[in-house]
Amino acid sequence: MSRRVMTVYGTRPEAIKVAPVVRALEKHSELESVTVVTGQHREMLDQVNAIFGITPDHDLDVFAHGQTLNGLMAKVFGRLDPVLVDEQPDAVLVQGDTSTVAAASIAAFYRGIPVVHLEAGLRSGDIHSPFPEEANRRLTSQVTALHLAPTPTSRENLLREATDPGTVVVTGNTVIDALLHTVEQDIPFTDDRLARLEKEGRPLLLVTTHRRESWGGAMEGVGRALGRLAAAYPDTTVVLPAHRNPIVREAILPHVKSYENVLVTEPMAYGEFTRLMALATVVLTDSGGVQEEAPSLGKPVLVMRENTERPEAVDAGTVRLIGTDEERVVEEVSRLFDVESAHRAMANAVNPYGDGKAAARSVAAIAATFGLGERLPDFGS
């Protein structure tokens, strides 16, 4: 009798990171994969499922404009519970640190279903930043039966919190599996402006920003910094795939709209976004996933946050934490454009987050909990 593993996910970054695991579960002869999307992000989620050829079995469709975190949590609890009862999974897999993850893991725990946490053990050390993600992942760790930690550092974080070492496996981050799979497909740009940019080969500053704790004044400052950079570097194109959230758009776009060398796009399909990262001269971001992907493409990454739960690439020298202060953003980006040695020092391809085999390690570890085969050696061991 095959064991059923239900994967519950809701946002674009979760979809990207669970996709290699869902595909590996589907291929396993003694495991059955059931997928549930909450739809916490809507179109951005559907886009990723399409790239990886995943058709969700259940869609809880919780998305609503402007809903509160509590409203969102309540919907996930309410709509997931009957699915857990109907499907009777042997394990529930969640990824990362969104509200979907916190609600789904607690809902599974309340139903007595073992929780598998992918990308377990990341810690910024500040419960308020990133908000609410740091709290979400700590809550999930408390009810998790199998922790799939991406790096030895994340394993250490869990052990420091007295987690049973026998329940922690170091897998590498599946974001690298997804990236390698996608880059291999060599997906062309559908946006003519980007295709032209690729031909011209001009310097490119790639920017993404969406973090909740930067909403308001800090994000306005980032918008002003981007306008100043566009004016100071007219030969450089600033490409900004703008997050769907109107709070983000209203803070940034008014400051950049008058510059011809700022190219604002809709959120990009994952394949095209990875192509754009590979073209970038400098990446300026507050994204978690981008912090993991860009170093493996040899791109200098400036992170607009005060802290990070991803210290590995900072230690390797390819990621630098710069916060959101307008002056500092202008200064740090300018330095990488003006000082070749500064750029060179950060532009080393490093892969502290994975080797492309994280999904295989994850599925082997899940199967081993059912007595089906052995775990694989840890990533980085």
- 275 as an active site residue: the answer is no
End-to-end alpha carbon distance in the chain: 33
Which residue, 35 or 208, is less far from ligand UDP as judged by CB? 208
Distance CA 66, CA 303 (A): 26
Distance CA 294, CA 310 (A): 13
Which residue, 89 or 362, is less far from ligand UDP as judged by CB? 362
- 59 as an active site residue: the answer is no
Q: Report the site for ligand UDP in 162-191 (rule: CB under 6 A).
A: 175
Distance CA 39, CA 15 (A): 10
Distance CA 341, CA 11 (A): 38
Binding mask 237-256 for ligand UDP (x = CB under 6 A): ----x---------------
**Environment class of 341 (CB within 10 Å of its CB; exposed 0-12, middle 13-18, buried 19+):** exposed
Please identify, among the stretches 165-173, 226-234, 289-297, 328-336, the one whose residues bind ligand UDP according to the rule CB under 6 A.
Answer: 289-297
Q: Report the site for ligand UDP in 186-225 (rule: CB under 6 A).
A: 208, 210
Which residue, 75 or 243, is less far from ligand UDP as judged by CB? 243
Distance CA 139, CA 40 (A): 19
288 scored as a contact of ligand UDP (CB under 6 A): yes
Q: Report the site for ligand UDP in 291-320 (rule: CB under 6 A).
A: 293
Question: 101: Cβ–Cβ under 8 A, 6 or more apart, which residues?
Answer: 8, 10, 14, 94, 95, 117, 136, 137, 140
16 scored as a contact of ligand UDP (CB under 6 A): yes
**Environment class of 233 (CB within 10 Å of its CB; exposed 0-12, middle 13-18, buried 19+):** middle
Please identify, among the stretches 87-95, 267-275, 303-311, 342-350, the one whose residues bind ligand UDP according to the rule CB under 6 A.
Answer: 267-275
Distance CA 354, CA 250 (A): 36
Please identify, among the stretches 184-192, 220-228, 265-273, 350-358, the one whose residues bind ligand UDP according to the rule CB under 6 A.
Answer: 265-273
Cα-based distances in Å from 231 to 47, 257, 301: 34, 12, 21
Which residue, 114 or 241, is less far from ligand UDP as judged by CB? 241
Q: Would you give the distance in Å from CA 216 to the centre of its chain?
A: 22
Catalytic residue among 4, 138, 212, 249: 212
Please identify, among the stretches 1-9, 10-18, 78-86, 299-307, the one whose residues bind ligand UDP according to the rule CB under 6 A.
Answer: 10-18
Contact 41, 70 (CB under 8 A): no
CB of 265 to ligand UDP, least distance (A): 7
CB of 371 to ligand UDP, least distance (A): 34
Instruction: State which of residues 5, 8, 10, 12 lies at the interface with ligand UDP (CB under 6 A).
Output: 12
Which residue, 210 or 375, is less far from ligand UDP as judged by CB? 210
Question: 292: Cβ–Cβ under 8 A, 6 or more apart, which residues?
Answer: 173, 175, 176, 310, 313, 353, 354
Total residues contacting ligand UDP by CB under 6 A comes to: 16
- 340 as an active site residue: the answer is no
What backbone phi and psi angles, to 5 degrees, belong to 283? -115, 125
- 181 as an active site residue: the answer is no
- Which amino acid, one-letter code, is at 60? L
Which residue, 170 or 268, is less far from ligand UDP as judged by CB? 268
132 scored as a contact of ligand UDP (CB under 6 A): no
9 scored as a contact of ligand UDP (CB under 6 A): no
94 scored as a contact of ligand UDP (CB under 6 A): no
- 210 as an active site residue: the answer is yes
Which residue, 158 or 290, is less far from ligand UDP as judged by CB? 290
Q: Facing residues of 298 across strands?
A: none
Instruction: State which of residues 270, 337, 353, 379 lies at the interface with ligand UDP (CB under 6 A).
Output: 270
Determine the Cα angle at 118 with ends 168 and 132, to 5°: 110
CB of 13 to ligand UDP, least distance (A): 4
- 312 as an active site residue: the answer is no
Contact 89, 113 (CB under 8 A): yes
Which residues are at the interface with ligand UDP (CB under 6 A)? 12-13, 16, 175, 208, 210, 241, 267-268, 270, 273, 287-290, 293
Question: Which residue numbers are catalytic?
Answer: 97, 119, 133, 210, 212, 243
